[in-house]
A and B are shown apart, each in its own frame.
Chain A
Amino acid sequence: MQSKMENMSPPLYELWEILKKNRLAIAGLTTLLIFFLVAILGLFLTSGKNPIYDPAKVRLEAKLLPPMTVIHENTLNTLNEKDIPPFRIFLFGTDHLGRDVFSRMLQGAWVSLTVGFVAVGISVFIGIIIGGIAGYYGNKSISLDYLLLFIILICGLIIIYYKKWLGTFILLFFIVATSIKKLFKKNFFNFSILIDSIIMGIIDIMLCFPSFFLILTVVALLPPSIYNIMVVIGLTSWMGTARFIRAEFLSLREREFVLAAKAMGVSDLIIIFKHMLPNAITPVLVSATIGIARAILTEAGLSFLGFGVPPPHATWGNILSEGKYYLFDAPWLTLIPGTAILIVVLAFNLFGEGLRDALNPKSRD
């Protein structure tokens, strides 16, 4: 035990020691592990040509059955043998089309899980890159020429995706402008801006938008698909991470071990990825955990409003949405997905908060 403890990376070991004492966090973690298991199982059980639990099977003669309905010989004997779910039981009942809510919940779990992780993955990735640039290179300034060229390049690349001729034109303009600049070897605009100011400006502007409505607008314009939703949620929630990373990098940049590495002539990339990022990542981890919960909620909200994952694919949000018409006749249609969302989001939040407490140096003594 002793040797094992010594070989473990120090923060990880301490982290576990402290986290272990926080019962709520452990409860959250356990719930999350069960959720992951269910979601992964759900993916296998509900996909394929003949899934064991078929979330899309319509059984009109068995609609709006309450949970725990067992199929006997004398009830529902009109049901096709193929349509009967495993163990001959509708664990969570059926909806207005007679689809098995349990199967749909299983399918939805996987959606929630992937939306949460992919969206947060995208946002953390963007946040680390942008925050890292702001924090590490922030005190360098960029001349307006390069900035404009960069903007033209980005615009061209985006536009070429939608309108080929316009995009090509803009990119051509970019190439011409770059070569003119190379030729003259001087700046046309005698003005330069700190990289940090630019990035912080962009972050502040992004934060000004009410993000849910921004997402709504974007999703309304894009073709509805689960991947679009993940990307859009990711693209609109990276600002927090970027700020965390920037702040951490700003203080780490002046820390002696980073200076020492610089003084040894270690390259910037190694300094960033070996020395700075591992020391800056902890607050990001916490915010990412809570960010997953937020992404799951956002996806559920979008699906509820009908902008989310298109039917017939089930998500917890659209089960809830469809269930709202039968609130009094079939309350389980809203209660079950609602409770599931509540529990998962709560678990993520509890675990995230436990993680934050454990990482807080003040709680270590």
Chain B
Amino acid sequence: MKDTILELRGIKKYFPIQKGLLKRTVGYIKAVDHVDLFVKRNQIVGIVGESGCGKSTLARCILRLYEIDDGKIFFNGKDVTTLTKKELKSYRQKVQIVFQDPYSSLNPKLTIKSSLMDGVKQANVEKPKRIEKISELLELVGLPKDSMHKYPHQFSGGQRQRICIARALSLNPELIVCDEPVSALDVSVQAQIINLLMELKEKIGLSLIFITHDLNLVGYFCDYVYVMYMGKIVECAPTLDIFKNPHHPYTRLLLDSIPGKRKQRPDSVFINKQDSQLNTQCGFAPRCKYFSKKCENNLDLREIEKGHWVRCSLI
């Protein structure tokens, strides 16, 4: 498709578990396990999941900060998994990342100016225009120009997150991966950053991958949602679809757990079963109320409606 900007095919990232003196590999943690994902131009794609489900690892794989073990990443139709160092540089200009923790994502020893300078240099802006570009960027994210001479510790969390967004924008990217950009912020500041991202999406035509655990935010903000559980995509659909008509038991559990707007009591999550006793590949089985014999087979993502995919043998 022409308007697909990013396409992931069977991305795999396993972390080896090493033991002993010789660092022998005794097993793997399947942080990201065969993930397929599409991002269309000027779309906001949400990835939801609990902590430890591999969503941050996936973000880092997309940026190629981690070497992926298997799979392909296509950006604008071009395979970026086999790039040389030079080509990788130009890919990284197109795809940027904003991290969760605004306190550790800025170098405390550098002024904002020199933090932003890295990106501006990479974007091949001529020397005399660099300062101008930096002040443009700061204005774009709603910060005064003179803040470029300050240090990160002189800013609040929300302002730092704005700076991080400015840094990501300094390379004129087409896609920004946001790894829980607001979960470390206060509620009132959260909304400011969300608005800023929305504005940028409309103004510059950015595409966003928005990783979060907050379903309220997904419902408000995203066009298409991927639900991740233990390294796998268990359900994906357009946002309204998934909120109105969730199929996977995990998705339902997530939606029922949103505080304040509970329609029904969430399905109980303790089920006293050991993982090893369950004869299934399904990672959610130990917590699943509907677990039955059927779960032994067929655990592929299947399209049940147009654009709505589910990984569950019961459906």
Contacts and interface: CB of A to CB of B under 8 A. Distances in A.
* Direct touching of A and B (C-beta under 8 Å): yes
A257 B122 CA distance: 16
B89 interface: yes
Nearest to A277: B109
Given A6-B154, A264-B122, A278-B109, A256 B104 contact: yes
Contacts of B171: 264-265
A262 interface: yes
A342 interface: no
Given A6-B154, A257-B104, A266 B65 contact: no
Given A11-B109, A256-B99, A256-B105, A265 B122 contact: yes
Give the secondary structure class of A's interface.
helix
Interface residues of B, number: 37
B89 A265 contact: yes
B108 A10 contact: yes
A211 interface: no
Contact of B63 (A197, A263, A275): A263
Contact of B97 (A255, A259, A274, A279): A259
A279 B106 CA distance: 12
B149 A264 contact: no
Given A10-B151, A262-B65, A194 B23 contact: yes
Interface string A253-275: 00111011111111000100011
B122 A9 contact: no
A279 B65 contact: no
- Sort chain A's interface into a size bin: 20 to 34
Interface in B90-138: 90, 92-93, 95-97, 99-101, 104-110, 114-115, 118-119, 122
B108 A275 contact: no
B167 interface: yes
A266 B107 contact: no
A260 B167 contact: yes
A7 interface: yes
Contacts of B92: 263-265
B60 interface: yes
Contact of A260 (B23, B97, B154): B97
B118 A266 contact: yes
B164 interface: yes
Contact of B101 (A7, A194, A256, A262): A256
A260 B105 contact: yes
Contacts of B78: none
Interface in B140-167: 149-151, 153-154, 164, 167
Contact of B118 (A6, A11, A194, A264): A264
B88 interface: yes
A273 B129 CA distance: 25
Contacts of B106: 257
B122 A266 contact: yes
B107 A265 contact: no
Contacts of A11: 108-109
A197 B60 CA distance: 26
Nearest to A271: B118
A6 B97 CA distance: 29
Nearest to B88: A265
Contacts, number: 75
Contacts of A274: 107, 110, 114, 118
A253 to B, nearest CB: 11
Contact of B107 (A197, A264, A279): A279
B93 A259 contact: no
B242 to A, nearest CB: 29
Interface centre among A7, A262, A263 (most CB of B within 10 A): A263
Given A256-B101, A259-B60, A263-B65, A279 B108 contact: yes
Contacts of B167: 260, 264
Interface string B20-36: 00010000000000000
B65 A259 contact: yes
A9 B23 contact: no
Interface string A1-43: 0000011011100000000000000000000000000000000
Nearest to B119: A264
B111 to A, nearest CB: 9
A275 B107 contact: yes
Contacts of B108: 10-11, 279
A194 B24 CA distance: 13
Interface centre among A11, A259, A264, A278 (most CB of B within 10 A): A264
Contacts of B150: 6
Contacts of B154: 6, 10
Nearest to B109: A278
A6 B65 CA distance: 35
Interface centre among B90, B107, B119, B154 (most CB of A within 10 A): B107
A265 B104 contact: no
Interface in B2-46: 23
A9 to B, nearest CB: 7
A250 to B, nearest CB: 15
Interface string A88-129: 000000000000000000000000000000000000000000
Instruction: Sort A-B residue pairs by CB-CB distance and give the 10 closest, nearest first.
Output: A256-B105, A256-B99, A265-B89, A265-B92, A278-B109, A257-B107, A263-B63, A10-B151, A256-B104, A264-B119
9 contacts: A9-B151, A10-B109, A255-B104, A256-B99, A259-B65, A264-B93, A265-B93, A266-B118, A275-B107
Given A6-B150, A257-B115, A275-B110, 8 more contacts: A197-B23, A259-B60, A259-B65, A260-B167, A263-B65, A263-B92, A265-B122, A274-B114
Interface of A: 6-7, 9-11, 194, 197, 255-257, 259-266, 270, 274-275, 278-279
